[in-house]
A = this chain, B = another copy of it.
Amino acid sequence: MKHPKPVYPSAEDVEAAFYAAFSRCDLEVMRNLWVRGDVVCVHPGAEPIQGYEAVVRSWRHIFSGAERPNVQIKIIQSIVSDDLVMHMVEEHIGSSAAPHQGAVVFATNVYRRNGQGWLMVAHNASVVRTRQAQSQTLQ
C-alpha cells in the first residue's frame, strides 16, 4: 500500500520522524522525509553520500536485517532561520538487548522549508565514543 507523502509542519516534526524511522528501521518514512535533490548524508566513519537516491539506498542497506536500535537524542545547539534549521544533536544509540551499551554519536541535522512543509536536507554523523564504561557511572 502506498501512503501519501507526509507534510511536516516544522523542522522538529521532521526530526521526530527521522529518529522514529531510524529506531523502527522504517524505510517508507525515511525515504519521504528527505528533500528530493541535492542532499548529503554522512554515516559515522563513512564517506559523504550525495543525492536523494544514494542516501535512500544507504538507509535501505542499514535497515536490511538490522536489529532495531534504541536511539535517544539530546539537542545541544539549534540554529534557526526562516527557511533553514540546524540542530546539533547528541545521539545515544544502543540495542534493546543491552540498553546501556552502545555509541554516542554527534550529528548535525539540517532541515529546509519546502513548499508547505519541512524536509531533511543533511545529516552528518560521527561517533564520539562508545558508551560501555561511561554508562556504569550513570546508573
Contacts and interface: CB of A to CB of B under 8 A. Distances in A.
Nearest to A35: B79
B40 A121 contact: no
Interface in A24-74: 38-40, 42, 44-48, 50
Contacts of A90: 48
A92 interface: no
Contacts of A77: 38-40, 48, 50, 122
Contacts of A18: none
Nearest to A44: B126
B79 A110 contact: yes
A40 B76 contact: yes
A79 B120 CA distance: 12
Contact of A86 (B44, B46, B76, B122): B122
B124 A124 contact: yes
Interface string A79-94: 1011110101010000
- Of all A-B residue pairs in the complex, the 10 with the closest CB atoms, nearest first, are A126-B126, A81-B84, A40-B77, A108-B108, A84-B84, A108-B124, A81-B81, A81-B83, A40-B88, A48-B106
